[in-house]
Amino acid sequence: MSGLFEGKRILVTGGTGSLGQVLTRRLLSGSDGTPESVTVFSRDEAKQHHMRLDFMQRCTATDEVIFENSRQALRFIIGDVRDYASVVRAAQHADIVFAAAALKQVPSCEYYPWEASRTNIGGAENLVRAIAENRLPVETVVGISTDKACKPVNVMGMTKAIQERVYIDGNLRAPDTRFIAARYGNVLASRGSVVPLFLDQIAAGGPVTITTAEMTRFLLTLEDAVDTIFAAVRSASPGETYIPKCPSAKMTDLARFLIGDKDIEMVITGIRPGEKIHEILLSEEEATRTIAGHEGYFALRPMLPELAGPVAEPALVGDYSSAGALMTPEALAAFLAEKIPEVVGESYLEA
């Protein structure tokens, strides 16, 4: 376990995002082995600059930090997963690739479906093609997916569902590389997620907006997400998708907890474009291909017969839905206090 990433050259696409930064920090901590290098690949130079300074514990910098970049374990490359040539350049010296680059905001993807397709599908295709056509010595590619890819009703989920299939097919096109995926639900307190939205609304005096009173979501932290990704790297077979067993809650219960004793109103605004009432991490149809993975996870076997293998005893029956095992308000409060104490301990949440 300790040597999982020992001496590895690691590439993180979309590495300046919320997940990418936590993933990078975990990799550099050496908790699972010390990598030779971790390279962040993204198209946002401003985010890269701030991330570089943050990891160097610097407030300001001059040009020497760019020069020193080539000598550090943490490195940065400006590029875009939509551009095949820049993907080849970034991946040519990688042993492991964490493919986290994505357009992930549900409403934005509804209004710009082609842009979502170019990043979420085209980016995956560029990575598979780069490895296959150039015979790059990449050992493992981990595609970062979402619960919205299961029975998708929105563009973000549809593109992520196809992205999963592109990576699965990569095992046939580049058989020396293991292509796997990690699929998980709503990440607590990540950029663009519901907790920061609720907190901003509470800080402004309300109202807190809920799209529908029945809405439920799976809940996990960024650290839980990274745990799922690392479990997949450690144990997943080619073409498998790792899925965590995680709790879920009603969004009204989450809002009430964050509001606390404050006199702040909750307002029902109606379903947003492409939004589901309940999320599903595994569908009834996928259940027949689902086995018990590493402890605490399901492993979804690929559909392609060249990769699937027999599934004698499926580990799941029916949908694995966020409506299926909801936490009580009391359990949710305990869960949040354990998982995000830095949020629930803030003074503006206290009575």
Q: Which two tokens stand for residue 301?
A: 């076997």
Per-residue pLDDT at 292: 86
296 vs 235: CA distance, rounded Å: 12
The least confident of 1-10, 203-212, 247-256 is 1-10
* For range 302-306, the mean pLDDT: 93
More confident residue, 257 or 180: 180
Per-residue pLDDT at 2: 56
Overall fold of domain 9-185+220-244+280-319: Rossmann fold (3.40.50)
* For range 20-37, the mean pLDDT: 93
Domain boundaries, the chain: 9-185+220-244+280-319
Per-residue pLDDT at 327: 94
Residue 343 pLDDT exceeds 60: yes
Identify whether the C-beta of residue 229 lies closer than 8 Å to the C-beta of residue 183.
Answer: no
Per-residue pLDDT at 63: 47
Per-residue pLDDT at 196: 83
* For range 3-15, the mean pLDDT: 96
Per-residue pLDDT at 197: 87
Per-residue pLDDT at 191: 65
**Under 8 Å CB-to-CB from 291, ≥6 apart: which residues?**
298, 299, 301, 311, 313, 314, 315
Could you read off the pLDDT of 145-171 as tens digits, one per residue?
999 999 999 999 999 999 999 999 999
Q: Which of 96, 102, 211 is nearest to 149 (CA)?
A: 102
Q: How many residues does the chain have?
A: 351
User: Measured between alpha carbons, how far is residue 48 from residues 21, 42, 76, 87, 178 in Å?
Assistant: 10, 8, 7, 17, 28
Question: SS3 for 335?
Answer: helix
104 vs 340: CA distance, rounded Å: 22
Residue 329 pLDDT exceeds 60: yes
Per-residue pLDDT at 341: 82
Could you read off the pLDDT of 116-142 as tens digits, one per residue?
999 999 999 999 999 999 999 999 999
The residues annotated with a catalytic role in the active site are: 148
Could you read off the pLDDT of 53-100 as tens digits, one per residue?
888 775 554 444 444 444 578 999 999 999 999 999 999 999 999 999
* For range 97-116, the mean pLDDT: 94
Could you read off the pLDDT of 225-276 as tens digits, one per residue?
999 999 999 999 999 999 999 899 999 999 999 998 899 999 999 987 778 8
E strand or H helix at 168: helix 155-173
Per-residue exposure over 142-154, b if at least 16 CB sit within 10 Å of its own CB, e if not: bbbbbbbbbbbeb
Average predicted confidence (pLDDT) for the chain = 89
Per-residue pLDDT at 59: 55
Distance of CA 301 to the CA centre of its chain: 19
* Parallel/antiparallel/unpaired status of strands 290-292 and 297-300: antiparallel
259 vs 135: CA distance, rounded Å: 54
DSSP characters over 6-64: TT-EEEEETTTSHHHHHHHHHHHHTBTB--SEEEEEES-HHHHHHHHHHHHT-S---TH
Per-residue pLDDT at 293: 77
* For range 196-205, the mean pLDDT: 90
